[in-house]
Amino acid sequence: MKHLMDCRLNVYAIPGEVSPDELAGGTVVVIDVLRASTTIIHALEAGAIEVVPCLEVADAQALAADTPHGQYVMGGERGGLPIPGFDLGNSPGEYTPASVGGKTVIFTTTNGTRAMMTCREAARVLIGAFVNATAVVQRLTGQPQVYLLCAGSGGEVTRDDVLFAGLLVKWLQHRAGIGYQLNAQALVARENWVSTFAVPLAVGAEPMGPALLAAELRKSLAGKKLAAIGMGDDILTAAQIDRFHSVPEMDPKTLHIRLSSGQGGNSPRRHGGHGV
């Protein structure tokens, strides 16, 4: 087991709680369960070549103007709603082989893409959500400096992201063989996950069914916002634990997000797994 002082596992509930310098040299997982992380995973699984996150709508429009016509689609949201003039919104189900296969997705969202901009100094940046939970843990195993960066919602903590961070903390501690030093938010996130699902966890029902998880995600700030604009169906999509086996990785210098070599789109669903 690696020495405790050498290994750190930190959770940040919103990007404003950490500076880019504090993430330098570590492996960061950007978490925006509802919905940017989930949507990016769906897009790359559907055969998109890459996803390029942009901070502002104008940045996305400028990039599109410099990209050959027919080689890209524009996706994203503001206030949860599709952006006028864009091809796609931020619903994972919109990102299909027909809509994004073989293309670059130029992407901007209210919270998720902003969180990604905080990671420029990191050594590695992974995109995580419930739909690729086990794959993320497998990629993190053995990494001594792990930072779980939650996107939040409008600058506020949203429990859907914290729950996923808590699942990662629990699974990493179980599997990694590393005595991680946890920050206070990592302890809180783990307790949130364990206490929320105490009964199913007690009988070994992990990962749990999407309906049970979705019921909790709907109670989060982001979940309530989605329900209010009529996009509650996306919550059930985001609650399908281990639907995919791939992990998108963002180049912290260019900000382009791709599947690592050896990972292809349309990876098989995981049936009847037990997590990590």
**Residue 219: other Cβ atoms inside 10 A:** 11
CA dihedral defined by 121, 169, 195, 19, rounded to 10 degrees? -10
Residues 41, 177 contacting (CB under 8 angstroms) = no
pTM: 0.92
**Averaged pLDDT, 177-199:** 92
Q: Which residue has the higher pLDDT, 113 or 275?
A: 113
Across the chain, mean pLDDT equals: 92
pLDDT computed for residue 1 by the predictor? 44
**Averaged pLDDT, 127-143:** 96
pLDDT computed for residue 202 by the predictor? 66
Distance of CA 22 to the CA centre of its chain: 20
Residues 235, 217 contacting (CB under 8 angstroms) = yes
Give the model confidence (pLDDT) of 41-76 as tens digits: 999 999 999 999 999 999 999 999 999 999 999 999
Give the model confidence (pLDDT) of 254-263 as tens digits: 999 999 755 6
Half-sphere exposure of 253 (CA within 13 A, CB side): 2
Residue 238 pLDDT > 80: yes
Residue 137 pLDDT > 60: yes
